[in-house]
Amino acid sequence: MYSLIEMLRYKRPQGSTTQNEFCERFLEPHFGLPDRDGNYVLRIGDNPTICFASHHDTVHKTEGLQQLVVTNNIVSVADPTISSCLGADCTTGVWLMLGMIEQDIEGVYVVHAAEEIGCIGSSALVKSNPYWLSHIDAVISFDRYGDNSVITHQMGIRTASDAFSKSFATALDLPQLAADKHGSYTDSNEYANVVPECTNISVGYYGQHTVNETQDLEYADLLMYALTQADWSKLVISRDPSLYETHYDDDDWWSKSWGRLSTNSTYNDNRVSEPLDDHDMESLISLVTDNPSAVAELLSKLGFSPDLLIDEANIDYGNYLNDYASRRYM
């Protein structure tokens, strides 16, 4: 079995050389070559009804290999001036799936491309409608912070039933797992219109997408064991994917969705409830400037139209129209 520590050393922004090296070393010996959209797909069993999902890109700003430190079974980056994050999102998910594959657990295993820049790989896969998809009752992503979530809603919209979340904890014999309606957005959400139960499972990382990101190795080992010993026949499938149900009733829905108010997180959660300092604001502006398509895609998924964004952000509408006209017609 591959070492999770070794896998975490690879900084893998989408399209990077290091990402390709990671895939060649860890994925292709099991999956073979990817599909045309960069997704790796492996089918185990005669008629699998569960799809296990993760993604092979990370939000690192640079590629290459990074040094790590482990203290009390918690792994983090050794030098935050060199690494912009740990990348446990979603390296731990990939590692868990490889362990399940080695144990020959029945299922369709998909390691998606380009999740971090808009779920491009999973979106393309669903649109291609592969033959196995019509048999799938549940898509289970391993891409959630913390150690107790079975996600039932993503971006406020139900993607999995409460009955399923309860049965998942029973199947794994992990009573700490419970329904969580504060999911953000990951690859399983792309399947939610065609697959009944689409969830995301906590894998033990905290502070994702930041230099303070950590991974709890003890929990990762516990989850690996539970997944390989699970009784998948206990899963309850009850959600109708044609129905639309929302949930936005919590004042701190956004914070809970992204884990910024998690009491277990090593990320300094107070920062999000106060204005960003000049350095963080410059970093945020730089991210938006360098990744306009990804930010626009995220805003779209959050329900923002151009008019709503103009209103909420107090953008000068006249200047916006002038700038738009200049870009389009000049």
SS3 124: helix
Report whether pLDDT(297) > 80.
no
Instruction: Please tell me the predicted confidence (pLDDT) of residue 308.
Output: 61
Report which of residues 244 and 221 the model is more confident about: 221
Instruction: Please tell me the predicted confidence (pLDDT) of residue 292.
Output: 85
Find the mean pLDDT for residues 208-222. 96
Instruction: Please tell me the predicted confidence (pLDDT) of residue 138.
Output: 98
Instruction: Please tell me the predicted confidence (pLDDT) of residue 288.
Output: 87
Report whether pLDDT(51) > 60.
yes
List domains and CATH numbers for the chain: 4-258 (3.40.630.10), 275-329 (no CATH)
60 burial via Cβ count (<10 Å: 0-12, 13-18, 19+): buried
The H or E element that residue 290 is part of is: helix 278-290
Find the mean pLDDT for residues 232-258. 78
Instruction: Please tell me the predicted confidence (pLDDT) of residue 264.
Output: 39
pLDDT digits (tens, 9 = 90+) for 57-90: 999 999 999 999 999 999 999 999 999 999 999 9
Distances (CA, A) of 290 to 2, 210, 294, 296: 34, 17, 9, 12
Report which of residues 294 and 208 the model is more confident about: 208
pLDDT digits (tens, 9 = 90+) for 3-30: 999 999 999 999 999 999 999 999 999 9
CA 75, distance to chain mean position in Å, is 19
Instruction: Please tell me the predicted confidence (pLDDT) of residue 266.
Output: 38
Report whether pLDDT(220) > 90.
yes
Find the mean pLDDT for residues 238-255. 75
Quote the crossing angle between the two packed helices 217-229 and 88-102, to the nearest 10°.
Answer: 30
Q: How many CB atoms lie within 10 A of CB 144?
A: 26
pLDDT band at 53 (very low <50, low <70, confident <90, very high): very high
Report whether pLDDT(328) > 90.
no
Instruction: Please tell me the predicted confidence (pLDDT) of residue 305.
Output: 63
Can you tell me the distance from the alpha carbon of 184 to that of 155, in angstroms, rounded to the nearest whole number? 5
Find the mean pLDDT for residues 128-154. 97
Report which of residues 25 and 329 the model is more confident about: 25
Quick check: 122 and 57 in contact, CB under 8 A? no
Q: Scanning the structure block, which residue is given the tokens 């109708």?
A: 240
Strands (E), 120-196: 138-145, 149-151, 153-154, 157-158, 178-180
Q: How many CB atoms lie within 10 A of CB 78?
A: 12
Instruction: Please tell me the predicted confidence (pLDDT) of residue 238.
Output: 98
Output the CA torsion 282→87→302→15 (10° steps): 90
Instruction: Please tell me the predicted confidence (pLDDT) of residue 298.
Output: 80
